[in-house]
Amino acid sequence: MVVDLQPNLGTLPVILDTEIGGEPDDAMALVVAARELPELALVVTSDELGGQRARFARYLLDSAGRADVAVVAGHQLSANPPYFADGLTPDWVGTPSGDVARAVAEVGARSGGVARWIGLGPLSNLAALLAAEPGLGRRLFVTQLTGTWTEVDQALPPRNFRLDPAAARQVLASVPHLRLVRYALPGGQPAQLTARSPVIRQLTGAAPAWAALLAAHCAQFFARYHPAVIPGGPLALAAALRLRFAPFGPARVAVNGAGGLTASPAGPQGNVLISRDVDYQALADWLCTRLQPGIWTQWSRPPGLTRAGLTRAGLTRAAAAPRAARAVRV
């Protein structure tokens, strides 16, 4: 039996691994994390597109008032991954560094090498880190979105595992503190977001820069790809925050050659906690509240720190500086 022995993780720095710019749920999760988590320290982009995802993440974070959060460009899996944020990042936003290992080491140095990792995309970045430093797996508390799981076609592997099955297997074998988050269909249909959903409508025409940016990103996705967004990214974030509508149960699983999750009675891949019985209506209500523009309690940037000051100070000093809670219009 798997027992959840994870301590109170509230003070540990957070690393968010995201394929932002694809389906808009990743951008939604990033905005919520930026507004709610002072511990958010680093964003790593997965399935990159020549640095475009990292640039978009940098601009969205700045728009949400979180210039203190570092961004690095991660692994690119294919020549032309899906991207629905064309033209949203100004030309003056530079391409962030691609040194993921150094950025993660900087974050870990602030907390004795221990950190929280929230994975919203393929597991390639984390697997590469574990291959270079196997002991890192014992110091990370990982919550990973597997992708959509459908009762109609259970043979289809979840997307994030399907894109890099070898990476998924390595993470499963190397990380003892691992929570897997599945977005189940058709059960999760009530939380799917369309242009008419309240959470999307409240962004359209809203004053905060992050809201307008997120609305434009959603509009591109709806027009070019699909009329509905599955909020898997926000679900993974909520699960990492231990919200009650995203409970977990023990499981022993393996990843097959296609990236599918299978039962594993024995072997090096095994004990995990996996999401079960998610209250998708509660997820939809929570997300609508968290993405509501207007007066909100946000963790402010340290006084006097500008983007230039953050660059000169480096990752460690910027994130270690205290932040105070205040009511702001965002």
In whole angstroms, give the CA distance from residue 93 to residue 232.
28
pLDDT at res. 156: 72
The DSSP secondary-structure symbol of 225 reads T
CA dihedral 265, 241, 30, 36 (to 10 degrees): -170
Yes or no: say if 44 and 15 are a contact pair by the CB < 8 Å rule. Answer: yes
Angular region, 168: left φ>0, alpha ψ -120 to 50, beta rest: alpha
Largest CA distance in the chain: 56
In tens, the pLDDT along 191-201 reads 999 999 999 99
Cα gap 279→252, rounded to integer Å: 23
CATH of the domain at 128: 3.90.245.10
- Give, as one character, the DSSP assignment of residue 122: -
| The pLDDT of residue 306 | 38
List pLDDT tens digits, range 89-104: 999 999 999 999 999 9
36 part of a folded domain = yes
How far is the CA of 22 from the CAs of 110, 114, 185, 194, 282, in angstroms? 31, 29, 20, 16, 24
Tell me whether residue 324 is in a domain. Answer: yes
Task: Quote the pLDDT of residue 155.
Answer: 61
Task: Decide if 281 is inside a domain.
Answer: yes
* Cis amide bond preceding 186, omega within 30: yes
Tell whether 7 is covered by a domain. no
Structure token pair of residue 272 = 């995990």
- On whether the CB atoms of residues 213 and 62 are closer than 8 A, the answer is no
Residue 269 lies in a domain: yes
CB 37 within 8 A of CB 291: no
At residue 43, the pLDDT reads: 98
Range of the domain at 146: 14-329
- Give the number of domains in the chain: 1
* 30 inside domain: yes
Q: What is the pTM of this model?
A: 0.88
- Radius of gyration of the chain measured on its C-alpha atoms: 19
Q: Give a yes or no: residue 208 inside a domain.
A: yes
Segments in the chain below pLDDT 50: 1-5, 268, 295, 297, 299-330
SS3 117: strand
Q: What letters, b where the CB count within 10 A reaches 16 and e where it falls short, cover 240-264?
A: bbbeebbebeebbbbbeeebbbeeb
Q: What is the pLDDT of residue 304?
A: 37
